[in-house]
Structures are given as structure tokens and as C-alpha cells.
Amino acid sequence: MTTEHSQRRFADLLTATVIAAYVLVALGTAVSTTDSAAACSAWPTCSTDPIIGSATGDTLLYWGHRVAALVAGCLVLASGLAARRVEVNRRVAALIGCALVLFPVQVLLGATIAVGGPSVAGPVHLALAMAIFACLLVALVFTLDDGTLEEETDRLTPTPESPTSGDDAGGYPATAPQPTGRSARLKRTIGAYLTLTKPRLMWLLCLVALAGMGLATLSGAALEPSTALATLAGGVLAIGASGTFNHVYERDRDRRMNRTSDRPLVHDLVPARNAVAFGVGLTAVSMAVLLTWVNALAAVFTLAAIGYYAVLYTVVLKPNTAWNTVLGGGAGALPAVIGWVAVTGRVGLPAVALAAVIFLWTPAHFYSLAIAYRDDYARGGFPMYPVAEGVAAARRHIAFYLGATLLAASGLGWVAGLGWVYGITSVALGAVFLRSVVRQFRQPTDEVALRSFYVSNYYLGAILLAIVLETLVVAG
């Protein structure tokens, strides 16, 4: 067997081990947030037989956790043995070694919890599970990195000065052909205003707010349909306003980028002054809706979100630092808090946990797109991470932020007390997301990076839908 072939098989084994470790974390959280712990108070067998006994969802869940622990344990052991056979580097060996040492400790802790040990054992058990997952994920990233045949020195220099005209920027005409006839012109103008509101972002951001509202109902608060509608309407208007301000501020840089050179302000389809007035109008109506039908705190957070995206991200962070995406992630996370505040009138821990998931997900979402469009971003003069630090570094960060997102998603399930639907969805889609990121290391092409970008959206969309289903449809 060639070294390359055995390295690949080792990476496959490690990928399976990472997925198994994540399944274990997610099932463990589900076990501790449902009544399933009460269904089993012995170790290593259960007081209830999962097949013959009265097998409820809870006993199956409990048994699922134990079986997953057995499978993950075997895989960690197999990875440890394989690491000795294949010549892995010292960092990988050390990380797998850590997981191997922690695993038996984790099993003992689990047994202590099962037979009714001290209450502190639960959180320690969860923290250790996350540490094992983190060790294995980082080991996988280093392994995949070693196998990726690519230069580390692929940084680009953002060049805002050149080229400046539409044609030079990549073949787009400087002005689009004028439609003839009044209704065609009206249609084009309406379309242009709609584009300013960035409608493609809205479905996911609305789902974030809806999930925030759903989590609030789990805490016992009642959600009136009129509150939900007004919050979503105010949110959509606010997103439209902040997107419009972003279009106005970035119109010169947008002209230089292929992806954005067809935007309305680049082609003077809407004068900048009118766009600013449109943005101010949308902000005012959004505030009016939220103040009238929701509450003042929701309006304050929404105004803060507009300022975050339109000023802090667009003006301060995006053109100046490679940390723009990480720090900018807070703008997209705020709708989680807004949704919760709309229902309860105050901030709550589950909303902050959901916001943390969005915050950590954002780099894993955007860096893939930024890898595919790195030349474009460099032309626009934006120091996005793959431009400033190179594709290889960006890919590593995608994997780390993905790992952090998966852990935060489990933490959210734990903090909010979510159950089956959420647990299964986050594990299944988490595995799909992880696989798409692993593929980026194996096939470092722009197409694969773009696919990973779309998978990131499906992942988040699916777990948010699961929260909505579990909190508003099933529980409601």
C-alpha cells in the first residue's frame, strides 16, 4: 500500500471518529435534557431492556448514547493504533493521544452519572466530551492539511486602486441597456430598490428571529401570532435598510468586483441620495412597527443591528481588517436576541446561546465564498481572510469554526432543553457540513468551496427549522 493511500485511509478513519465523537456529544446533550436519564439507573446495562422492555423514546435515546459511546471508543482506539502505523506528525499523534487518555475518564464519569453521582459530574462530562471532539477535529485538520498539495504563500494584496471601470472589472458593461417604455422602466426601478434590500439573506435571518421566538416559548412565555408577524415585518424592513446603506457605501468597490458590478448603484439605476432616503424610510417604518406592535427593547436591538451591519461592519471592519467576518458575525446573531426579546421583553440565556451559534457559524459560512471569490475581493480592496492570510489558512479556520459551531449547537440544545427533532437534525446536517468541509481539503477547487458555502446555509436553515418545529409546532 502506498504512503499516500494509507494517509488517505487514516484521514477517512479520523473523519469517521470525529463524526462519532460529535454524535456522542449531541446524544449526550439530548439524554441530559430529556427524561431519559430516569429511564436507566444502572451501568453498564440498563434497568430497562430497549427491545423487550417498554421501549420509549427516552430509553432508546439512553441506549443510543451508550452504543454511540462504544462505537466512538472503538474508533478512537483504532485511530490511535492507525496513527502509530502511518507516520503522522507529532501534533496529530499528541492530539489523538489526548483523546485516548480522556476517553476512559469520560466513561467512568458517565457511569458515575448513571448510578446517581454528584450533580457536578454532568457539566464536567459535557465539557470533557467537547474536549475530546476538539482534539480529534484539530488532529483531522492537521492530517488533511498535510495531505493538501498547495502553497501556503497564496496571500493576495487588496488593490483598491485598480481597475476602476466596469469593463475592466471583468467584462460587465458600465451601464446596462435602457429599457424602452414606461412600465418596463418602472419594473426595472422597482427591481433595483428590491435588490438594495438584499432579499436573498432574508429567509435565513427571519428563521433566526423565529427560532429566537420559539425558544422564548419554551421558557413559558406566550407568543401571539401578531407579535411574531410584527417582529418579522420589522426585521425584514431593518435588513432591507441596512442592506441599502451597505450598497450605498460600497458602490465604488462593487464596481470593481465581478460578483457585484451589476448592482443598482453601480449603474445609477437609483441615485445614491434616493437610496439613502429609502434606507432611512425603511428604518423609520421598521421602528414604528416594532414600537407599536412589539416592544421598545426589540426596537433598540434592531436599531443596533442596523448600525452594526451598516456602520461597524461595512464602514469600519470590512475595508480594514481580516477579522471583519469574525467581528461582523454579531450583526447576523442579533436577530436571535431580537426574536426572544420580542416575546419576553428581556434578554435570556437560550437566546444568547443561539446568537453564539450564528456568531461562530458566520466564518464557516462566509470564508468558503471568500475563497471562491478571493481575486474579486482583492480587486475590490477588501482584506477578507482568504485574501489577507491565504486559502490554506482560511480552510483551516473554516474547519475550526465549524467545530466550534457544532459544539455551540449542542450547548444550545442543552441550555434550551431541546429534544429529539433538534438533536437528530443537528447531528445529521452537522455531519453533512463536516463532510463538505473535509472535501475542501481533498479537492481544493472554487466549485467545492462554493458548494460548502451553500451547505453552510442548509445546515443553519435545518437546525433553525428544527427549533421552530420543536418549539412552535410540536410544543405549541
Which residues would be at the binding site for ligand FPP (CB under 6 A)? Answer: 201, 205, 235, 238-239, 242, 246, 250, 260, 302, 305-306, 309, 313, 318, 328, 331-332, 334-335
Beta carbon of residue 254, minimum distance to ligand FPP (angstroms, whole number): 7
Q: Are 308 and 355 contacting, i.e. CB atoms less than 8 angstroms apart?
A: no
Q: How far apart are CA 147 and CA 4, in angstroms?
A: 8
Specify the residue for cell string 468597490. 253
CA-closest candidate to residue 382, choices 328, 322, 327, 311 = 322
Choice between 50 and 212, CB closer to ligand FPP: 212
Choice between 113 and 464, CB closer to ligand HEM: 464
Choice between 88 and 290, CB closer to ligand FPP: 290
Beta carbon of residue 464, minimum distance to ligand HEM (angstroms, whole number): 8
With CB cut-offs between 5 and 8 Å by kind, which of ligand FPP, ligand HEM, none does residue 79 bind?
A: none
With CB cut-offs between 5 and 8 Å by kind, which of ligand FPP, ligand HEM, none does residue 239 bind?
A: ligand FPP
CA-closest candidate to residue 422, choices 362, 473, 361 = 473
With CB cut-offs between 5 and 8 Å by kind, which of ligand FPP, ligand HEM, none does residue 204 bind?
A: ligand HEM
Q: Are 39 and 62 contacting, i.e. CB atoms less than 8 angstroms apart?
A: yes
With CB cut-offs between 5 and 8 Å by kind, which of ligand HEM, ligand FPP, none does residue 142 bind?
A: none
Choice between 206 and 391, CB closer to ligand FPP: 206
Beta carbon of residue 384, minimum distance to ligand FPP (angstroms, whole number): 8
391: number of Cβ within 10 Å: 26
Beta carbon of residue 246, minimum distance to ligand FPP (angstroms, whole number): 5
Beta carbon of residue 409, minimum distance to ligand HEM (angstroms, whole number): 14
Beta carbon of residue 450, minimum distance to ligand HEM (angstroms, whole number): 10
Choice between 82 and 317, CB closer to ligand FPP: 317
Beta carbon of residue 186, minimum distance to ligand FPP (angstroms, whole number): 26
Q: Fill in the amino acid letter for 47.
A: S
How big is the chain, counted in residues? 476
Q: How far apart are CA 316 and CA 322, in angstroms?
A: 12
Choice between 65 and 247, CB closer to ligand HEM: 247
Choice between 216 and 306, CB closer to ligand FPP: 306
Separation of first and last alpha carbons in the chain: 57
**Dihedral sign (CA 119, 125, 127, 128):** positive
Q: Are 172 and 206 contacting, i.e. CB atoms less than 8 angstroms apart?
A: no
With CB cut-offs between 5 and 8 Å by kind, which of ligand FPP, ligand HEM, none does residue 242 bind?
A: ligand FPP
Choice between 65 and 318, CB closer to ligand FPP: 318
Specify the residue for cell string 457559524. 361
Contacts of 188 (CB under 8 A, 6+ apart): 179, 269
With CB cut-offs between 5 and 8 Å by kind, which of ligand HEM, ligand FPP, none does residue 232 bind?
A: none
Beta carbon of residue 474, minimum distance to ligand FPP (angstroms, whole number): 27
Q: Fill in the amino acid letter for 95.
A: L
Beta carbon of residue 76, minimum distance to ligand HEM (angstroms, whole number): 34
Task: Give how far Cα 432 sits from Cα of 24, 437, 439, 451, 459, Å.
Answer: 16, 9, 11, 11, 8
Q: Are 150 and 391 contacting, i.e. CB atoms less than 8 angstroms apart?
A: yes
With CB cut-offs between 5 and 8 Å by kind, which of ligand FPP, ligand HEM, none does residue 359 bind?
A: none
CA-closest candidate to residue 10, choices 75, 66, 90, 67 = 75
With CB cut-offs between 5 and 8 Å by kind, which of ligand HEM, ligand FPP, none does residue 185 bind?
A: none
3-state SS of the chain: helix, strand, coil percent to 5? 75, 0, 25
Choice between 62 and 309, CB closer to ligand FPP: 309
Choice between 248 and 331, CB closer to ligand FPP: 331
Footprint of ligand HEM (CB under 6 A): 200-201, 204-205, 208, 325, 328-329, 332, 358, 362, 365-366, 369, 457
Angle between helices 446-468 and 420-442 (to 10 degrees): 170
Angle, CA 167 vertex, CA 164 and CA 169 arms, to 5°: 50
Q: Name the residue number minimizing CB distance to ligand FPP.
A: 305
Beta carbon of residue 406, minimum distance to ligand HEM (angstroms, whole number): 16
